[in-house]
Amino acid sequence: MAGQELKWNLNDIVAKGKFDETYAGIEKDITGMTEQIKLLKPQMSLAEFKQVIEFREDLKTRLSKLSSYGELWENADLKSQDAKLYKSRSQDLGIKLSDAILPLEHWLKGLAVEGLEKLDDFNANRLFAELPDLEYVFNYNRAAAQHTLSQGEERLITRKSVTGSQALVDMYNLITDSFEYKFQPQGQKAKIFKVQGQVRNYYYSARAAEREAAYKAVFKPYHDNEDKLFVIYRALAKDWDNDAKLRNFPNPVSVRNFYNRVPDAAINTLLEVCQQNVGIYQDLFRYKAKLLKMKKLRRYDLFAPLEAPKAKMPLPEAKKLVLDIFRDFAPGFAERAESIFRANHIDSHPRPGKDTGAFCSDIAPGVTPYILLNYTGNNSSVSTLAHELGHGVHDLYAQGHYFSSSHTTLPLAETASTISELMVFEKLLSQARSDKERRAMLLEKLGDSYATVIRQAYFVMFENQAHKRITEGIKSDQLSDLYIKQLRSQLGSAVEVAEEFRSEWAYIPHIFQTPFYCYAYNFGELLALALFARYKDEGRPFVPKIEKILAYGGSQSPDRIIKEVGMDMSSPEFWQGSFEVVKGWLSELKRLSK
């Protein structure tokens, strides 16, 4: 590892020793916002409007750099008191800025603001057209305001949710955090775990008895507390549905779709196509049973590993591999990724006191993004390097925007990262030293695909049903019936599902905390796969289209961006393309095993 470790230079966002000065400059200009707001009139000139908006964009950009400074510093050195101080001071400044621009934000949305004349639709269109880059963001916020209630009602909802839905989520966490897990593989002594993650590690154990014991241990307390957890879930679901109705959304899931900026039709199609392709995964599980020399796979065995030698790659070699792949795909990808290395914006290796995991932080237009890794040299490390560089490349393609339209919206946020990861996966697969290694890699990839795509889609389908049934009146037991019925139809005759999986719904925090959120994972993954499939089909001529999608940043709706390159996310064919890639992996796996 010596000599390989990269550390990032944060002085590109705040010059060395200049935090206080930068802070004071932003603070002074925030007070200037008051003067800008006085200019707001529906009849104001285009030049004045542009000036006010650019004043706001400039402040947001400068504040984002300042707050990223403390945050990134803390990620790299969790114990640094200086970092914590800078972070909390930037947060204070952030509150000042959002207070100062609140009247402007409300005014743009067409809401009533004291002392200002309301912005009517005609003038909104006139003014917004002056800043085409921000037009989509402005209009989206105006549409969001249509789902907003009166100020008094909103205030009441916010206050009541603290003692209502938020308190229920706290209750859920309190109850489940107190769980203990009794792990007892057949023929062994029982072990008590207090941390669920430690038991969950055994889902991936090479020993069948340990996998079974892990699921049994995890679900037991959920089953024992099912009645309590049901009361919480029922209340949260009803609260969500009432809110959706009050805010004029056609369905409970539409609320989530609106915030994710995707049309209801696209999500319906996505879920249907997932359901139609469930056979690929059932086929995989039948095949996996053979590889594991089992008659039939049990639900406990879905993530069982195949033993294989593990390859290691030093960082400079991985960097070269990824950059070569990028260059082969599109020179623009390689140049952008190289510029992140050149800028010294990467913190590469694990060390005590550093944050775990990996991320790419896109700060503002004009700033090269920062990447944190915990590189160890195994295959998944190399693939994470490609993933995070993909995010960085995406951000650099989208530099030509205002701050507020530069950040990519959720559905497209994983496009470049997933495509980068896919290209690296195919390369590593071709370079693997033995068929045994290749088989293990394919099996792991297919398992990941099941977990991100099918499993998540079925969670959302379950939620759709659960919300409906809860409205009609349902008991805890019936909800568990509904769950296990859906799980069994998902896995078909390929996998044996034991009774304890009835309680699995209670173990998915997302359905309590952020209803209908689970499809976000599979949406991003499948969308990237669909684009990758098109690329493999059409080759080079398709690359500029991908670059175009990335360059949009957050300046258009995802639906419109995808249509621009001649595809339609509400059509089944679009999503089917993604599953063709998955099918390809499965037939390769079968070929290798012959």
Of 103 and 369, nearer to Zn ion (C-beta) is: 369
566 φ, ψ (degrees, to nearest 5)? 80, 25
Helix, strand or coil, per DSSP, at residue 305: coil
Mark the segment that binds Zn ion (CB under 5 A) among 133-141, 172-180, 215-223, 410-418.
Answer: 410-418
Euclidean distance between the first and final Cα of the chain, in Å? 39
Mark the segment that binds Zn ion (CB under 5 A) among 41-49, 110-118, 412-420, 484-492.
Answer: 412-420
Mark the segment that binds Zn ion (CB under 5 A) among 94-102, 178-186, 409-417, 514-522.
Answer: 409-417
**123 vs 138: CA distance, rounded Å:** 13
Q: Tell me how far, at minimum, the Cβ of 370 lies from Zn ion, in Å.
A: 14
Q: Tell me how far, at minimum, the Cβ of 325 lies from Zn ion, in Å.
A: 17
* 401 Ramachandran zone, left/alpha/beta (phi>0; psi -120 to 50): beta
Of 73 and 521, nearer to Zn ion (C-beta) is: 521
The length of the chain is 594
Mark the segment that binds Zn ion (CB under 5 A) among 77-85, 106-114, 342-350, 416-424.
Answer: 416-424
Q: Tell me how far, at minimum, the Cβ of 510 lies from Zn ion, in Å.
A: 17
Pairing of strands 297-298, 495-496: parallel
Q: Tell me how far, at minimum, the Cβ of 388 lies from Zn ion, in Å.
A: 7
Of 405 and 417, nearer to Zn ion (C-beta) is: 417
Q: Tell me how far, at minimum, the Cβ of 390 lies from Zn ion, in Å.
A: 8
Site map 358..397 versus Zn ion, x via CB under 5 A: ----------------------------------------
Helix axes 455-472, 519-538, angle to 10 degrees: 140
Q: What is the largest CA-CA distance in the chain?
A: 80
Q: Tell me how far, at minimum, the Cβ of 287 lies from Zn ion, in Å.
A: 29
Distance, CA of 141 to chain centre? 21
Q: Tell me how far, at minimum, the Cβ of 384 lies from Zn ion, in Å.
A: 9
Of 301 and 362, nearer to Zn ion (C-beta) is: 362
The first and second tokens of residue 70, run together, are 């403390």
Q: What pairs with residue 371 in β-bridges?
A: 346, 360
Report the run of H or E that residue 370 belongs to, with start and end.
Answer: strand 370-372
Q: For residue 417, state whether it binds Zn ion (rule: CB under 5 A).
A: yes
Q: Tell me how far, at minimum, the Cβ of 519 lies from Zn ion, in Å.
A: 16
Q: Tell me how far, at minimum, the Cβ of 258 lies from Zn ion, in Å.
A: 23
**589 vs 247: CA distance, rounded Å:** 49
Residues 484-513 that bind Zn ion (CB under 5 A): none
**410 vs 106: CA distance, rounded Å:** 24
Contact 293, 306 (CB under 8 A): no
- Report the half-sphere exposure of 280 (CA within 13 A, side-chain side): 23
Of 269 and 417, nearer to Zn ion (C-beta) is: 417
Contact 384, 355 (CB under 8 A): no
Mark the segment that binds Zn ion (CB under 5 A) among 124-132, 271-279, 396-404, 415-423.
Answer: 415-423
Of 417 and 452, nearer to Zn ion (C-beta) is: 417
Q: Tell me how far, at minimum, the Cβ of 392 lies from Zn ion, in Å.
A: 11
The first and second tokens of residue 472, run together, are 């009609």
Of 175 and 410, nearer to Zn ion (C-beta) is: 410
Q: Tell me how far, at minimum, the Cβ of 431 lies from Zn ion, in Å.
A: 24
Of 417 and 557, nearer to Zn ion (C-beta) is: 417
Of 234 and 391, nearer to Zn ion (C-beta) is: 391
Of 68 and 417, nearer to Zn ion (C-beta) is: 417
- Concatenate the DSSP letters of all residues of 179-198 into one string: --EEE--TTS--EEES-HHH
Q: What pairs with residue 183 in β-bridges?
A: 191
DSSP state of 297: E
Residues 107-126 that bind Zn ion (CB under 5 A): none
- Concatenate the DSSP letters of all residues of 210-226 into one string: HHHHHHHHHHHHHHHTH
557 φ, ψ (degrees, to nearest 5)? -70, 145
Of 17 and 357, nearer to Zn ion (C-beta) is: 357
Mark the segment that binds Zn ion (CB under 5 A) among 249-257, 335-343, 411-419, 551-559.
Answer: 411-419
Contact 296, 208 (CB under 8 A): no
372 φ, ψ (degrees, to nearest 5)? -110, 130
Give the residue at shortest CB distance from Zn ion.
417
Of 367 and 520, nearer to Zn ion (C-beta) is: 520
Q: Tell me how far, at minimum, the Cβ of 101 lies from Zn ion, in Å.
A: 29
Q: Total residues at the site for Zn ion (CB under 5 A)?
A: 1
**459 vs 466: CA distance, rounded Å:** 10
Residues 250-289 that bind Zn ion (CB under 5 A): none
Residues engaged in binding Zn ion (CB under 5 A): 417
